[in-house]
Amino acid sequence: NAGVTQTPKFRVLKTGQSMTLLCAQDMNHEYMYWYRQDPGMGLRLIHYSVGEGTTAKGEVPDGYNVSRLKKQNFLLGLESAAPSQTSVYFCAVRGVNQPQHFGDGTRLSIL
Amino acid sequence: LAKTTQPISMDSYEGQEVNITCSHNNIATNDYITWYQQFPSQGPRFIIQGYKTKVTNEVASLFIPADRKSSTLSLPRVSLSDTAVYYCLVGGNYGGSQGNLIFGKGTKLSVKP
């Protein structure tokens, strides 16, 4: 999955803590997405961005915030982490008229 | 929103052709159909994409009937390395809304020797 880098790869948080996940791309693509994947649930869209400075809600946005201040970076924030947010988070990017390309994920555990 | 439905699991043997069908009854006019493959601890990897009829690339074929309410991913002559989860994704491309990206729950394909 060259071109889409997620940071960090693993993280353990305590309930109520905050953190930010970073997705960085070097492909100059317009569209960026954040998904979460839980066992047996497939991938669910949290937030997405169609360009620098724009964000929008996906299927499961509650408890998360995002920012796209620079075209190459899409940040996913948890202001007050909850155990229900324990999941694997995937970032995806895509160019115009192209399919999505995914990063390798961030595994987040909230105790 | 175009909800998708796939079989939970499938078994096959090396060398066989595998067909995985995804149902998407509420697909919108602008929606494309995309299939991804996912191995454990990795992000999904693009396999093939189509809008209607048939699409073929070096690894798979995608069959889409005229009503577009389903699609079938065909993997010719599978090998052990094709053991993975396969996801059908409908929506989000080519000017359509990006917020209606709906993944199915995936089909776990197990290929046996």
From CA A81, how far away is CA A18, in angstroms rounded?
6
Residue-level pLDDT at B103: 78
pLDDT at A53: 93
Q: Cβ separation of B42 and A105 shorter than 8 Å?
A: yes
Q: Does B40 touch chain A (CB under 8 A)?
A: no
What is the Cα–Cα distance from B58 to A55, expressed in whole angstroms?
35
Residue A8, preceding peptide bond in cis (omega within 30° of 0): yes
- Write out pLDDT tens, residues B47-71: 999 998 899 999 999 999 999 999 9
What is the bridge-based pairing of β-strands A10-13 and A106-110?
parallel
Going residue by residue through chain A (111 aa), what tens digit of pLDDT does each one get?
459 999 999 999 999 999 999 999 999 999 999 999 998 778 999 999 999 999 999 989 999 999 999 999 999 999 999 999 999 999 999 887 788 899 999 999 999
Out of A41, A48, A94, whose CB is closest to B99? Answer: A48
Q: Is A48 exposed, middle or buried (0-12, 13-18, 19+ CB in 10 A)?
A: buried
- The backbone torsions φ and ψ at residue B8, rounded to the nearest 5 degrees and listed phi first, read -70, -40
pLDDT tens track, chain B, 113 positions: 568 899 999 999 999 999 999 999 988 888 889 999 999 889 999 999 999 889 999 999 999 999 999 999 999 999 999 999 999 988 865 555 666 677 778 999 999 99
